[in-house]
Amino acid sequence: MTYPQIDPVIFRIGPLAIRWYGMMYLLGFIGGYFVMSHIARMRKFPITKEQISDLLFYGVIGVVAGGRIGYTLFYNPEYYISRPWEIFYVWEGGMSFHGGLLGVFAVLLYFCRKYKFSLLMMGDLVVAAAPIGLCFGRLGNFINGELWGRSTDLPWGMVFPGAGSEPRHPSQLYEAGLEGVLLFVIIYSLHRLKVRSGIACFSFLFFYGLFRFMVEFVRQPDAHLGFLWGGATMGQLLSLPMILLGCGGVFYLWKRSQDESD
HEC string of the chain? Answer: CCCCCCCCEEEEECCEEEEHHHHHHHHHHHHHHHHHHHHHHHHCCCCCHHHHHHHHHHHHHHHHHHHHHHHHHHCCHHHHHHCHHHHHCHHHCCCCHHHHHHHHHHHHHHHHHHHCCCHHHHHHHHHHHHHHHHHHHHHHHHHHCCCCECECCCCCCECCCCCCCCCECCHHHHHHHHHHHHHHHHHHHHHHCCCCCCHHHHHHHHHHHHHHHHHCCCECCCCCCCCCHHHCCHHHHHHHHHHHHHHHHHHHHHHHHHHHHC
Whether 133 is covered by a domain: the verdict is yes
pLDDT at 250: 95
Q: Whole-angstrom Cα distance, residue 1 to residue 170? A: 10
Band (pLDDT 50/70/90 cuts) for residue 139 is very high
Cα angle 212, 22, 205; round to 5:
25
What is the band of 77 on the pLDDT scale with cuts at 50, 70, 90?
confident
User: Is 129 within a domain?
Assistant: yes
Q: pLDDT, tens digit, for every residue of 98-111? A: 888 889 999 999 99
Q: Give the pLDDT confidence score for residue 83 in this predicted structure.
A: 75
- At residue 207, what is the residue type? F
Dihedral sign, Cα of residue 90, residue 119, residue 98, residue 78? positive
pLDDT above 90: residue 84: no
Task: Output the pLDDT for position 89.
Answer: 66
Report percent pLDDT > 70 for the chain: 95
The domain tally of the chain equals 1
Does some domain include residue 238?
A: no
Range of the domain at 93: 9-191
202 occurs within a structural domain: no
In a domain, 15, yes or no: yes
Query: How much is the pLDDT for 17?
Result: 79
pLDDT score recorded for residue 92: 61
Q: Is the pLDDT of residue 152 over 80?
A: yes
In a domain, 208, yes or no: no
| pLDDT tens digit sequence for 157-200 | 999 988 888 999 999 999 999 999 999 999 999 999 999 999 99
Please tell me which residue, 52 or 227, carries the higher pLDDT value.
Answer: 52
**pLDDT-based confidence at residue 93 (cuts at 50, 70, 90):** low
Average pLDDT of the chain?
89
Residue 100 covered by a domain:
yes
d(CA 216, CA 240): 12
- The answer to whether residue 146 sits within a structural domain is yes
Record the pTM: 0.88
Query: Which range, 51-65, 170-184, 248-262, is most confident?
Result: 170-184
